[in-house]
Structure 1
Amino acid sequence: MKRRALPVGVLVGVLVGSFSLPAWALPSFAEVKAAHPTSETLFLDRHGEMLQRQRTDPSVRQGAWVALPEVSPALRSALVYSEDRRFYEHAGVDWQAVASAAWGNLWNTRTRGASTITMQLAGLLDGDLKAGAQGRSWTQKAGQAVWAQWLETRWRKDQILEAYLNRVPFRSELVGIDALSRSLFGKAPHGLDADEAAITAALVRAPNAAPERVADRACEVQQAMARAQGAKADCLSVRLLTGTVLRERRWAASEGDAPHATRRAWNEWRQQAGTGTRATPPQIRTTLWAPLQREAQTLLQRQLRSLLGRRVEDGAVVVLDNASGEVLAWVGSSGLLSQAAEVDGVTALRQPGSTLKPFLYAQAIAEKRLSAASLIEDAPTHIPTAAGLYIPQNYDRNFRGWVSVRTALASSLNIPAVRTLAMVSPEDFAAQLVRLGLPLREGGDYYGLGLALGSAEVTLLSLTNAYRTLANQGRQGPVAPLLASQRGAVGGSAVLDPGAAFIVGDILSDANARAATFGTDSLLATRVWTAVKTGTSKDMRDNWAVGWSQRYTVGVWVGNASGAPMGDVSGTTGAAPVWAGLMRWLHERQPSRAPSPPAGLIAQTVRFGDRLEPSRREWFIAGTEQPLFALGAGGDSGAPDLRPRILSPTTGTILAIDPDIPPAHQRLTLKAEAADVRWRLDDKPLGKGKEVQWMPWPGRHRIEIVNARGELLDSVRIEVRGAGVKTSARP
């Protein structure tokens, strides 16, 4: 049976007598504005400057509160004309519209003129008045009317319209004019024109209608407004625009300069707030420093553009404060230059190459196995392992003979590092790396001697923090949270001997010591005190530059997120320019002084026999100092042996002939210290000069150098293995 409607007079009595609300139950405009929810969180730097906007509520899309003057006049007019033409005349309920409307749709919110903007706002502010699946009940509609009248007595009209525009639901997940304007039209609300305003007004009445229906409704709004002004409206443009904007979403979920860092900061905030927290904070302050963040991003992108054509597109940068462990810059990718921009290069596992060597030498020095002046042979070597012979090579395929630890580390020579790891043992070195905070997945026996050359995988963040341990003379502490609210002193513990850490830093700051590999004018030589190490992984898949100054530790990785090898890009040509640029920027007006030596170190002048290296002043852990470093028994007497030596090959070298390679391409270069020598092979003349070429053949051989009088200066014994050489097949 059809339900009879109540007379208007009875309903008015209900409104007056049954829904009286106390004044304190009504929120003020200021309270509603202050409690405005948003799906967006603004991430700020340490000084309050905005770095990133990130959508953090996936259930709704709601932007910032928009003041009424910031809404275009076209939209204000279209909305009032479409939803409530007597908005500025009534007191919350349009009784004239109520009296003239049919009782069957009197309280239907879709009926223009019956449900006012103020009544709709009341329904948006009070959850009890929310419409159900069958619409609102008559008691809810009556409640809307009472709320509306209360609102009108305490709020101004401009406040009511402003709140309505910020709380009204539009299409799909979009709530509020800011989200709608940016998502559909790609602009702020103050920029909406007449066509866009008509579409917006149409979406209030039918938010999820088909595009054709929305276009029809927008056309009706335009025509009605035009008739009121004695004009005509052309609906063609609004119809074309409607079909376009309803198919797109132009408001990106994230935009700014620190997408990866803010993602981590958001996860930290959620952990701090608790898993049950659903509220989205409008702002989160981080420890990042916005100018530095942008400079790091700019330098990285500029460097990768300069490497165009060398098959490299990704990179990452992190900058830490030495004292606090706070993250000052976190660039996770190269952005638009990358095909995997979502991958965070700061936390991705990659092979570190030679950047692990400083920790290896620090451990050997701390254990008093070596000092900075100890001599290690840089020569071809074959090390038996369970998997077969391990034959390490230097990056440039050259060998330098006997070198000091200072030269070996600063010039990043591989073979001395492998020899040092053999002294320390892979298992003990792996344990040391774990104490430094590096996330090794396996033990030292798994990596073997290749661990000296970076065969394990680490993250840029953990590696940079490990270098921060060197900057802090052996004290290791965790990276501080990105949330500025958790800033403060971060504790640490001693995991490296402070003297060994100091000596390694002194070596890595020595431009002369690295000259053999990098030259004296490389990018690594900064105008202020810094210590730095580069590294390149196998097949040039990763390259690194990590180092520190008095206050900052900077880590840079360059490579491909896919793991694809680069084209002739090393640590010095890939990551080092970014590292050097950041150090230059950080210390443009801030000095960086060398650290003071800790207790237990001794400075002493040392000499090297056999003319191996120039005399210098060197640092030693007490008990390891000595004045002379030389080869052979005679070296210990303090009288250096000045006879020229054979630099390459060295005694014990084993060569293998490859039968598939033509003999002319397998010649061995013999090198001596001096040019005025004569070479002999198995007592037969071979040539003259500092270098000669020899095509090896199988067997054991004795190689000698003699002076003009035929006096023996030096000799080595080597072995050549291999079968006969195949001849090339002719076509």
Structure 2
Amino acid sequence: MNILLVARAFAIFSIATCADSTWAAATFDQTKAAYQPSDTLILDRHGALLQRVRTDASVRRGQWLALSDISPALRTALVLSEDKRFYEHSGVDWQAVSGAAWANLWNTKTRGASTITMQLAGLLDADLKRSAGGRSVVQKVQQVVSAQGLERSWRKDQILEAYLNLVPLKGELVGVDALSQTLFGKAAHGLDEREAAVTAALVRAPNAAPALVAQRACQVLKALRSANASVHPPVNCDALDLFTTAALQRRDFAASEGIALHAARQVLRAAGQPAPTKITTTLHAPLQRLAVQTLQQHLRELRGRHVEDGALVVLDNATGQVLAWVGSSGELSNATEVDGVTALRQPGSTLKPFLYAQAIAERRITAASLLEDSAAQIQTNSGLYIPQNYDHQFKGWVSARTALAASLNVPAVRTLVMVSPDAFHKQLVKLGLPLKESGDYYGYSLALGSAEVSLLSLTNAYRALANGGRTSATSLIPGVKPAMRAALDPRAAFIVSDILSDPLARARTFGSDSMLATRFWSAVKTGTSKDMRDNWALGYSQHYTVGVWVGNASGAPMWDVSGTSGAAPIWAAVMHYLHQTQPSRAPKPPMGVVHMPVQFVAPDADTRDTTALEAARQEWFIQGTQQTHFAINKEAAPAYSERARGLKGLKSTSHADARITAPTTGTIIALDPDIPPKHQRVAFTATGSGLNWLIDGKPFAKGATAQWLPWPGRHVVQIADAHGRVLDEVRLEVRGAGVLEKR
């Protein structure tokens, strides 16, 4: 029986040596080009790795590694373990063949005669793959022929490189890159002798028990060290056993890791199937890394205020290319799969710049036009709409510049009444904000951001302001150049940009030294949605537009987070990074605007003298709308205030001259957290003398005016004379988080 086996072996190899010399296989370059990793690498614009994403769930292949990128220890260990005469034979190790045949004759167990080249031939040809019962005689003959063909057309280093990249290893792992990343948590070029010995042992028996792998690894390590026995200490097989067992239990090669997960998903979705090996994006790795770190660092500081999510996007103004895309706070979030850059959220006051730009473009107002910031009741189909300001104080008559920069809500709603919700809706859609409903659906609350938009589309809309009213689609792929189109009057865009860059104009609400001030030219607007669910900072410089959202993906409200404490610090940090060395200059005035001095005057309440509403300044106008003086007609003011006063509650029949002039009965105060809590006071005014103010029956102030820190609930506000007799009262409701006044 054994003699027959020997004869069969010699017959096989005789056939192999006489095989057709015209055998042809794929070239090394073709084999390498056909290799498909199970992961796709997402690269930045300069080729730096941003994210690795698994795109093939059936197998785990790493990247194709050049032989020079594989540890010398592993190369040596593999040759010693699998094919000692690899560099000497021409595909078939005849010495090993004869030894295997002789061992078979005497029923002696041996490693076998299969060379690395023969094993590679089996990996390259599906017809030669080893089945559970082993290869047939015909397959063995074909394997020998293929190995000899490979040796004639490939170099030894190419054969070894291909084998190390294609050899199946433990479980789903194929190739040394996937194995080294999974079991040892490092690149293949860093494998030491112990790790190389374990890898070589797995090549021999990929799914063997840990004890058997450790035993074989110990033999390989001894062979490695035998050449330098004086340099290396003796091999400790027990320690190697522990090391091997621990390594074989690891599963640390994450499905996706890096710093741009959500951007990676965007480009992979656009690429389609099959997924490419590498995708180059427009992102800038240092900026992306800074954005991730800044977002996470600031959110850690806000953890005590019930904030866990955030998102950030940076656009190049000229091209629309995305330079940074951070869709989540990562490990800080309970919803890491949600992409905050594309999720729809309420934008709060960040829509106001587009409203004022539209009103200026339509010549309904100018930047110096005076708008009344006072109690207002606007009749709608669903009842009275009663807007309130950020700090729940009314400023009286203010210029449009102050109203926008200081983010006053009532003047914005009055401006929307002029423009109309339907026309404003069309303007927002033209800017690229895909609003789901019509303008009539949102009504006048559209001025305060009641619609839902994504951070990406809103940031791109601000980019239109930076580009003088022109916009285009954004892009994550280099080489894509979306066409620019006009979306906003360039003169209005310039004037609004000048307002948003004016620190003096915003000082009335945010102070003169807020987080929004930069050492270079920039324009910025913050916003907070109802009940502190969304906090925003959107702004731009000469070259970049940066958008930041902070909140909770679940929609849960934050605690005491305003525009200047939530998103603004992140926006400022990124902007300062972008302009460490690059200057930012104010835009040049477009054709059709003029710059001229203006003055503001109003009649004094008790005399015929006039007082300044705002300081005199230089102001920008669309040509044809300019004027030098802006004044309030004394006769018109009382009538307007009376109309705005609305319905009154029950009044006392005596002392008819004493009444509460603000607020009015039915007022609903929805607390808007865009201004620091210390400014959240409601102003009460009344006519008459010797007045005492009461809230829910308890005295809290004296005189014709009073300031009140609101708290949620329904309240009765009263004025009484010195004898405690109630002269007038109004009823109001406060909604949202408030500040409880100490009593």
TM-score bin, normalised by smaller chain: 0.7 to 0.9
Displacement of 1:298: 2.7
TM-superposition CA deviations, 1:436-494 (whole Å, max 9, x none)? 111212222322222211111111100000011111222231112x111x333x21222
Report the secondary structure of 2:304's partner residue: coil
Tell me the equivalent position of 1:45. 44
What is the alpha-carbon distance in structure 1 between the residues aligned to residue 110 and residue 469 of structure 2?
A: 75
Displacement of 1:156: 4.4
Counting only pairs closer than 5 Å after superposition, residues 19-98 of structure 1 correspond to structure 2 as 19-22=20-23, 25-29=24-28, 32-33=31-32, 35-98=34-97
Tell me the equivalent position of 2:351. 356
Aligned 8 A contact 1:609 1:635 in 2: no
Report the secondary structure of 1:131's partner residue: coil
Q: Out of 480, 487, 492, which is 1:487 matched to? A: 480
Report the secondary structure of 1:402's partner residue: strand
Displacement of 1:366: 2.0
Judge which range, 189-198 or 358-367, deviates more. Answer: 189-198
Indicate how the Cα distance of structure 1 residues 124 and 314 shifts in structure 2: closer, same or farther if over 3 A, else same.
same
What is the alpha-carbon distance in structure 2 between the residues aligned to residue 690 and residue 115 of structure 1?
A: 98
Tell me the equivalent position of 1:250. 252
Judge which range, 622-631 or 328-337, deviates more. Answer: 622-631
Displacement of 1:513: 0.9
What is the alpha-carbon distance in structure 1 between the residues aligned to residue 702 and residue 196 of structure 2?
A: 91
1:616 paired with 2:607, answer: no
Report the secondary structure of 2:403's partner residue: helix
TM-superposition CA deviations, 1:654-696 (whole Å, max 9, x none)? 13599xxxxxxxx985469xxxx984779xxx96687589999
TM-score by length of 2: 0.80
Q: Out of 393, 403, 407, which is 2:398 matched to? A: 403
Displacement of 1:33: 4.5
Instruction: Give the counterpart letter for 1:499 in structure 2.
Output: R
Indicate how the Cα distance of structure 1 residues 425 and 652 shifts in structure 2: closer, same or farther if over 3 A, else same.
farther
Tell me the equivalent position of 1:581. 573
Instruction: Give the counterpart letter for 1:179 in structure 2.
Output: A
Counting only pairs closer than 5 Å after superposition, residues 197-212 of structure 1 correspond to structure 2 as 197-211=196-210
Indicate how the Cα distance of structure 1 residues 407 and 52 shifts in structure 2: closer, same or farther if over 3 A, else same.
same
Indicate how the Cα distance of structure 1 residues 697 and 247 shifts in structure 2: closer, same or farther if over 3 A, else same.
closer
1:654 paired with 2:664, answer: yes
1:310 paired with 2:305, answer: yes
Displacement of 1:168: 0.7
Aligned 8 A contact 1:195 1:237 in 2: no
Tell me the equivalent position of 2:264. 262
Tell me the equivalent position of 1:708. none
Aligned 8 A contact 2:500 2:523 in 1: yes
Aligned 8 A contact 2:660 2:719 in 1: no
Instruction: Give the counterpart letter for 1:20 in structure 2.
Output: S
Tell me the equivalent position of 2:460. 465
TM-superposition CA deviations, 1:307-345 (whole Å, max 9, x none)? 242222222111111111111111222233333333221
What is the alpha-carbon distance in structure 2 between the residues aligned to residue 194 and residue 287 of structure 1?
A: 40
Instruction: Give the counterpart letter for 1:249 in structure 2.
Output: R
Report the secondary structure of 1:555's partner residue: strand
What is the alpha-carbon distance in structure 1 between the residues aligned to residue 391 and residue 436 of structure 2?
A: 30
Counting only pairs closer than 5 Å after superposition, residues 689-728 of structure 1 correspond to structure 2 as 720-721=730-731
1:338 paired with 2:337, answer: no
Aligned 8 A contact 1:653 1:719 in 2: no
Indicate how the Cα distance of structure 1 residues 41 and 721 shifts in structure 2: closer, same or farther if over 3 A, else same.
closer
Indicate how the Cα distance of structure 1 residues 405 and 232 shifts in structure 2: closer, same or farther if over 3 A, else same.
closer
What is the alpha-carbon distance in structure 1 between the residues aligned to residue 660 and residue 440 of structure 2?
A: 29
Aligned 8 A contact 1:653 1:718 in 2: no
Tell me the equivalent position of 1:380. 375
Tell me the equivalent position of 1:299. 294
Tell me the equivalent position of 2:14. 13
Instruction: Give the counterpart letter for 2:123 in structure 1.
Output: L
What is the alpha-carbon distance in structure 1 between the residues aligned to residue 366 and residue 39 of structure 2?
A: 56
Displacement of 1:509: 1.1
Tell me the equivalent position of 2:174. 175
Indicate how the Cα distance of structure 1 residues 476 and 41 shifts in structure 2: closer, same or farther if over 3 A, else same.
same
Instruction: Give the counterpart letter for 1:487 in structure 2.
Output: V
Aligned 8 A contact 2:661 2:685 in 1: no
What is the alpha-carbon distance in structure 2 between the residues aligned to residue 64 and residue 578 of structure 1?
A: 36
Displacement of 1:358: 0.8
Report the secondary structure of 2:492's partner residue: helix
Report the secondary structure of 1:7's partner residue: helix
1:517 paired with 2:509, answer: yes
Instruction: Give the counterpart letter for 1:98 in structure 2.
Output: V
Displacement of 1:361: 1.4
What is the alpha-carbon distance in structure 2 between the residues aligned to residue 225 and residue 367 of structure 1?
A: 83
Judge which range, 29-38 or 286-295, deviates more. Answer: 29-38
Instruction: Give the counterpart letter for 2:12 in structure 1.
Output: L
What is the alpha-carbon distance in structure 2 between the residues aligned to residue 341 and residue 694 of structure 1?
A: 38
Counting only pairs closer than 5 Å after superposition, residues 601-680 of structure 1 correspond to structure 2 as 601-610=593-602, 611-632=612-633, 653-656=663-666, 669-670=683-684, 679=689
Indicate how the Cα distance of structure 1 residues 256 and 228 shifts in structure 2: closer, same or farther if over 3 A, else same.
closer
Indicate how the Cα distance of structure 1 residues 417 and 43 shifts in structure 2: closer, same or farther if over 3 A, else same.
same
What is the alpha-carbon distance in structure 1 between the residues aligned to residue 718 and residue 337 of structure 2?
A: 57
Tell me the equivalent position of 1:552. 544
Displacement of 1:392: 2.2
Instruction: Give the counterpart letter for 1:615 in structure 2.
Output: A
Indicate how the Cα distance of structure 1 residues 679 and 587 shifts in structure 2: closer, same or farther if over 3 A, else same.
farther
What is the alpha-carbon distance in structure 2 between the residues aligned to residue 326 and residue 221 of structure 1?
A: 53
Report the secondary structure of 2:503's partner residue: coil
TM-superposition CA deviations, 1:488-525 (whole Å, max 9, x none)? 3x212222222222221111111111110011111212
Instruction: Give the counterpart letter for 1:369 in structure 2.
Output: R
Q: Out of 216, 239, 242, which is 1:240 matched to? A: 242
What is the alpha-carbon distance in structure 1 between the residues aligned to residue 351 and residue 41 of structure 2?
A: 38
What is the alpha-carbon distance in structure 1 between the residues aligned to residue 502 and residue 728 of structure 2?
A: 35
What is the alpha-carbon distance in structure 2 between the residues aligned to residue 694 and residue 306 of structure 1?
A: 27
Displacement of 1:213: 5.0
What is the alpha-carbon distance in structure 2 between the residues aligned to residue 629 and residue 12 of structure 1?
A: 105
Tell me the equivalent position of 2:606. none
Displacement of 1:199: 3.0
Indicate how the Cα distance of structure 1 residues 202 and 472 shifts in structure 2: closer, same or farther if over 3 A, else same.
same
TM-score by length of 1: 0.82
Indicate how the Cα distance of structure 1 residues 269 and 691 shifts in structure 2: closer, same or farther if over 3 A, else same.
same
Indicate how the Cα distance of structure 1 residues 333 and 394 shifts in structure 2: closer, same or farther if over 3 A, else same.
same
Instruction: Give the counterpart letter for 1:589 in structure 2.
Output: T
Judge which range, 390-399 or 570-579, deviates more. Answer: 390-399
What is the alpha-carbon distance in structure 2 between the residues aligned to residue 530 and residue 668 of structure 1?
A: 32
Aligned 8 A contact 2:368 2:400 in 1: yes
1:394 paired with 2:389, answer: yes
Q: How many residues align?
A: 669
Indicate how the Cα distance of structure 1 residues 201 and 698 shifts in structure 2: closer, same or farther if over 3 A, else same.
closer
Indicate how the Cα distance of structure 1 residues 221 and 404 shifts in structure 2: closer, same or farther if over 3 A, else same.
same
Contiguous gaps of at least 5 residues in structure 2 = 603-611, 638-644, 646-658, 669-680, 693-700, 722-726, 734-743
Judge which range, 314-323 or 29-38, deviates more. Answer: 29-38
TM-superposition CA deviations, 1:412-447 (whole Å, max 9, x none)? 011111222223222222222122111212222322
Indicate how the Cα distance of structure 1 residues 34 and 576 shifts in structure 2: closer, same or farther if over 3 A, else same.
same
Tell me the equivalent position of 2:161. 162
What is the alpha-carbon distance in structure 1 between the residues aligned to residue 422 and residue 298 of structure 2?
A: 38
Contiguous gaps of at least 5 residues in structure 1 = 637-645, 659-666, 704-716, 724-731
Displacement of 1:201: 2.5
Report the secondary structure of 2:518's partner residue: coil
1:446 paired with 2:441, answer: yes
TM-superposition CA deviations, 1:375-431 (whole Å, max 9, x none)? 222122333333333332222121111211111110001111122222322222222
What is the alpha-carbon distance in structure 2 between the residues aligned to residue 55 and residue 598 of structure 1?
A: 50
Judge which range, 249-258 or 322-331, deviates more. Answer: 249-258
Report the secondary structure of 2:527's partner residue: strand
Judge which range, 395-404 or 373-382, deviates more. Answer: 373-382
Judge which range, 379-388 or 528-537, deviates more. Answer: 379-388
Q: Out of 270, 276, 280, which is 1:280 matched to? A: 276
Tell me the equivalent position of 1:727. none
